[in-house]
Chain A
Amino acid sequence: MNQAPPVPRLRLNFTWLGLMPFVIFVGLFLVLPTMHIVIGAFQTPEGTFTLQNILDLNSGTIPSSYWISIKVSVASAAIGCLVGFGMAAAVTFRAVPRWIRSPLMTFSGVASNFAGVPLAFAFLATLGPVGLVTVMLRQNFGIVLQRDLGFNILSFWGLTITYLFFQIPLMILIITPALEGLRREWREAAEVLGATGMQYWRMVALPILFPSLLGTFALLFANSFGAVATAYALTGSSLNIIPIQLFAQIRGDVLGNPNLGYAMAFGMIVVTAIANVVYIWLRIRAERWLK
């Protein structure tokens, strides 16, 4: 039995080949196109390096487009977080019967995926000039939305209210597990130490939930920042948010420097990337408590 140990053969490892179809596909149809845009943002039409495109973002209507996009996204994310949190809390802490939870979660799963052109029409039919709610308010209460409240569906608030249709359910979906992760023991411990309900929320529950809340806010922000179809169908080009501006630029309505278009797209990636990095980072922090 004095066999020599087997000579270590040089074995080529071909396991990675199995991932190649996926990597090539994602590379060709996601990574490369995006890289092309990012690189193009820093090039002149002749292909030399320049920062001029990025500087040009600060001209014409572009800064105001970014600004109104950010405002709509912040507003719809903030209100979405608040209302969604309220609804999730009402169900989690049994302020309303328990059986509501399951249908609410199912419904949220469906509604959070619903954006696009039909959503725009749903809100036009409700809050538009002859919409259901508009007409009801006028006939029963004598309130004319446009005249008395200064409300117009084709405006900043109109778009924000429309986006909330998918923002609130998304918040409910994400925050409910976090709320359910709050242990009963923590509340009891706080009460034993003499904390009031307010103090428990302010000093125990909210600090624990804070990363989840802020993280979901970032996700909701990114979610509405990149949306094109709803806004385009709702307002045409009357509300100049940045995705619509870029849409027009690509369509060729605004004929200009294609590299400026690259820079606009690059700016969008930067904004959503920051929001997502914040989300992921806060999520990792939040998960420490929810094990």
Chain B
Amino acid sequence: MSVWTRIVGWAVLIFGLLYFFLPLSGLFEFSLKARRGVYSFDAYREVFADPQFQATFTYSVVMALVTIVIGILIVVPTAFWVRLKMPWARPYVEFLTLLPLVIPAIVVVFGYIRLYNTASWLPLTGSIFGTNTLLAFGYTILALPYMYRAVDTGLRTIDVATLTEAAQILGAGWFTILRRVILPNVVPAVLSGAFLTFAIVIGEFTLAALLDRPAFGPYLQRIGANKAYEPFALSVIAFTITWACLALIQFVSRFSKAAPARH
């Protein structure tokens, strides 16, 4: 390994690290500048005191939790069934789960608005509850590629067929098998899918803005257009939450590698 290779290697790496950390420190520094001349947490105090922040943030958290539950209900039985009974269908199911990466979210929500409007056969956007449901379904679709891959990877590590047969011999029905045998064995995988879903939903902008729901993402954008320092404090909060979620995924996946799957 020549000296030059090392120098170039370090140069590239340092450039990359600066690229990642400068914006983060810039953001944090700026969020502290609300009071002239000194650093302070004034912007954060403003933000936390804003009832709109509390409302939109709560809304997004609830949305994220609902999305996670729907995602688990859809993905776990499907991935289980495909592994157990229909291995030939795997490429097709995988293809469907990857579609949300191909079709931009803005196109999907445009379709929702046109297809499920008040004049249609399923007027979901006609009521607040309906729109909320539609938004949760939309988020489930956005998170589908990550959720499916996480759960499918988790199922690969356990012997689905044997576990199912054993449970059936003991008289368990499909629901019991899923809830008491399969799900507990893929908890780390489900959790990592769940945290990623949470991170995606909490700051999501496009769907919430176009379906006109009071979520955190559109609130952040609106504040950004009107206030000086608060949006930066809000962004720090959003960053922290996202990174905490993703750090938890790392933690959970390491933890699960250390502990053998329960058979």
Q: Which residues of A contact B (CB under 8 A)?
A: 15-16, 18-19, 21-23, 25-26, 28-37, 40, 83, 86-87, 89-91, 93-96, 100, 106-107, 109-111, 113-114, 116-127, 130-133, 164-165, 168-169, 222, 225-226, 228-229, 232-233, 236, 243, 246-247, 250-251, 258, 261-262, 265, 268-269, 272-273, 276
Within the complex, the shortest CB–CB distance from B195 to chain A, in Å, comes to: 11
Please provide the chain B residues from 217 to 263 with a CB less than 8 Å away from any CB of chain A in the complex: 217, 220-221, 224-225, 231-232, 234-236, 238-239, 242-243, 246-247, 250
Interface: B155 (CB within 8 A)? no
- A-B interface pairs (CB < 8 A), number: 246
What are 30 A-B residue pairs whose CB atoms fall within 8 Å in the complex? A18-B81, A19-B86, A22-B77, A31-B96, A31-B99, A33-B110, A33-B112, A34-B108, A36-B115, A37-B110, A90-B8, A90-B12, A109-B250, A110-B243, A114-B239, A116-B217, A116-B238, A125-B23, A125-B31, A165-B20, A228-B105, A228-B106, A229-B206, A232-B221, A247-B209, A247-B210, A250-B110, A250-B113, A265-B106, A269-B104
Once the chains are docked, how many angstroms separate the CA of A40 from the CA of B107? 12
A30 touches B99 (CB 8 A): yes
Which 6 A/B pairs are nearest by Cβ-Cβ distance? A33-B111, A95-B9, A226-B104, A126-B26, A132-B26, A90-B9
CB-CB under 8 A for A21 and B205, given A122-B24, A133-B26, A276-B101? no
Please provide the chain B residues from 11 to 52 with a CB less than 8 Å away from any CB of chain A in the complex: 12-13, 15-16, 19-20, 22-27, 29-31
State how many residues of chain B have any CB contact under 8 Å with chain A.
82
Quick one: closest B residue to A258, CB to CB? B114
Q: Which of A30, A120, A130, A133 contacts B103 (CB 8 A)?
A: A30
Within the complex, the shortest CB–CB distance from B137 to chain A, in Å, comes to: 5
Q: Which of B16, B106, B137, B231 contacts A121 (CB 8 A)?
A: B231
Interface: B119 (CB within 8 A)? no
Can you add 19 more A-B contacts, CB < 8 Å, to A33-B111, A86-B12, A91-B13?
A19-B81, A19-B86, A22-B96, A26-B96, A30-B108, A31-B96, A33-B115, A37-B111, A86-B8, A87-B16, A93-B5, A96-B10, A117-B224, A118-B203, A118-B220, A121-B231, A125-B27, A132-B26, A233-B224
Quick one: closest B residue to A90, CB to CB? B9
Quick one: closest B residue to A275, CB to CB? B102
Quick one: closest A residue to B229, CB to CB? A125
B19 touches A126 (CB 8 A): no
Interface: B196 (CB within 8 A)? yes
Q: In the complex, what residues of B have CB within 8 A of residue A124's CB? A: 232
Q: In the complex, what residues of A have CB within 8 A of residue B141's CB? A: 26, 29-30
Within the complex, the shortest CB–CB distance from B87 to chain A, in Å, comes to: 11
A25 touches B107 (CB 8 A): no
